[in-house]
Structure 1
Amino acid sequence: MADRPEEIQGDAHWRTAGDRIQTLLEATSAGGSAARERAEQLVREVVELYGAGLSRIMAILDDPALVDRLAADDLVASLLLVHGLHPHDVRRRVADALDRVRPYLGSHGGDVHLLEVSGDTVRLRFAGSCTSCPSSAVTLELAVEDAIRAAAPEITSIEVVSAEADAAGVIPAESLLAKIHANGAGAAHWCQVPEFAELAAGEVGGFVVGGVPVLACRVGDQLYAYRDHCPACDGSLAGAVLHRGTATKDPVLRCPRCRSHFDVVHAGLGLDDAERNLQPIPLLVRDGVLSLAVPTEPMDTPA
């Protein structure tokens, strides 16, 4: 069920609270060092007060199911983490974070396995078509890495173990992402798009998010987002609709201009030409707010 508008606005408001507090603290510097010190002390007192209150709440609760519900709420979980009160260890939090992004990975025909959490390092292995999908590295950075950092801020290193021969060894995430950044495909920022949730099942909508034309569609309960660009005719997909595929039970998107067909459920695969695929854009719920990973650099037009 989609979040109610007031819930989305509330989550978005609190997500940026830290930035607003920092801005206010910086503004107090205009009153001199003494004013700044008093403001910082005030913030510390408030944080410690609410930390003490949260600690007592967690001590009073004796229902594991209720504790799990609190830990599953993004806002509450972030506060518990700040005060060192989160009931789950780092491995459990990382595993839960990966579970939340698995539907997105599944839309690319892939999966991710948690191999090990050692100190501040997480080791992962991708499976399925994620290992060869051209957007797999972007998925790693913008979906998997983002989810892990939010759930376990103490993690400072993510390593990807090759799914091929063991001789291939470990691929540091930073090395993989560096290649993507060099092609201008990995840099992105998250934009909140709660309006996407208003799409009805089977509906396709065009949006401009962060200056990037985006096509979003809903298949059942799942939302998918792609760059608004047909790789076959080099035109916009505005006016495209979903059709029932003949070779697959999943709906396909048909370009209204050149009539090319694409599998929106499986990473925008070109059904008429496997070399011409739509460009998927990660679309995830972050802290209760539906968000899109908008590239900060222009996306290259596929050949």
Structure 2
Amino acid sequence: MLDVTRASPDARAYARAEELVSLLTDLYGAGLTRIAELAGEHAPHLVPHLIADELVASLMLVHGLHPDGLAQRVEVALESVRPMLAGHGGDVELLDVDEDAAAVHLRLLGSCDGCPSSASTLQNAVEEAILAAAPEIAIIDVEEPTETPGPGSVPITLGPKPEYTSCPAEPVAP
């Protein structure tokens, strides 16, 4: 809607719409902050349930209210895919989280290291888990195998995720 308003011949309409969105975001953020404070004070047993809810957790992330740090959220995401990787004789190790660069550095272990299907395994399972838990991550870097890869192996390097000027899921206005 902001993009449609931006294309309007009235530049003031876009500025007003953008200000309205900002004010509403601030209002809802303040309300969510208060809810989180009250839950922490009066119903601390509720906080883990709020964090476990995907929608509530994502709102808490947007407003800087999520109680778990970035490295902890990434590790939890990796824990969620480890059983699947173990089923293929592999694992993934978190080497570093660089909050300033919004980057995660990983190493594949076991059979996943150098496995031809590692690229799709990492791309689909590990990356999705990390980005769901830590949407602020822009770079997922995978350490190359130190051994000489065998025949048919595929080296894996993920670059930065694309930056969009608008939501790619939104329909384009005619």
Q: TM-score, normalised by structure 2?
A: 0.72
Q: Say if 2:137 is the partner of 1:160.
A: no
> What pairs with 1:21-60 in structure 2 (closer than 5 Å)?
24-28=1-5, 29-30=7-8, 32-60=10-38
Q: Say if 2:110 is the partner of 1:128.
A: yes
* Partner Cα separation in structure 2 for residue 138 and residue 27 of structure 1: 37
* Partner Cα separation in structure 2 for residue 101 and residue 149 of structure 1: 13
SS at match of 1:155: coil
Q: CA deviation at 1:134?
A: 1.4
Aligned residue pairs total 147
Amino acid at match of 1:90: L
Amino acid at match of 2:88: H
Aligned to 2:55: 75
Aligned to 1:141: 123
* Partner Cα separation in structure 1 for residue 69 and residue 4 of structure 2: 37
SS at match of 1:114: strand
- Residue by residue over 1:259-286, the C-alpha shift from the partner in whole angstroms, topping out at 9 and shown as x without a partner, is xxxxxxxxxxxxxxxxxxxxxxxxxxxx
* Partner Cα separation in structure 1 for residue 9 and residue 55 of structure 2: 33
Give the fraction of aligned pairs with identical amino acids, expressed as a percent: 52
- Residue by residue over 1:83-111, the C-alpha shift from the partner in whole angstroms, topping out at 9 and shown as x without a partner, is 11111001111011112222432343322
Change (3 A) 1:147 1:43: same
Which of 89, 96, 121 is matched with 1:109 structurally?
89
Q: CA deviation at 1:33?
A: 1.2
Change (3 A) 1:25 1:140: same
Amino acid at match of 1:121: A
Question: Structure 1: where are the runs of 5+ without partners?
Answer: 1-23, 166-170, 176-303
Q: CA deviation at 1:158?
A: 2.4
Q: CA deviation at 1:149?
A: 2.4
**Which structure is larger by alpha-carbon Rg, 1 or 2?**
1
Q: What CA RMSD, in Å, does the superposition of the two structures yield over aligned residues?
A: 2.4
Q: Structure 1 stretch 97-106 or stretch 85-94: which is displaced more?
A: 97-106
Change (3 A) 1:172 1:130: closer
More helix by percentage: 2
SS at match of 2:8: helix
Change (3 A) 1:172 1:136: closer
SS at match of 2:91: strand
More strand by percentage: 1
Q: CA deviation at 1:65?
A: 4.0
Amino acid at match of 2:122: L
Quick check: 2:144–2:156 contact (8 Å CA) kept in 1?
no
Q: TM-score, normalised by structure 1?
A: 0.44
Aligned to 1:218: none
- Residue by residue over 1:191-229, the C-alpha shift from the partner in whole angstroms, topping out at 9 and shown as x without a partner, is xxxxxxxxxxxxxxxxxxxxxxxxxxxxxxxxxxxxxxx
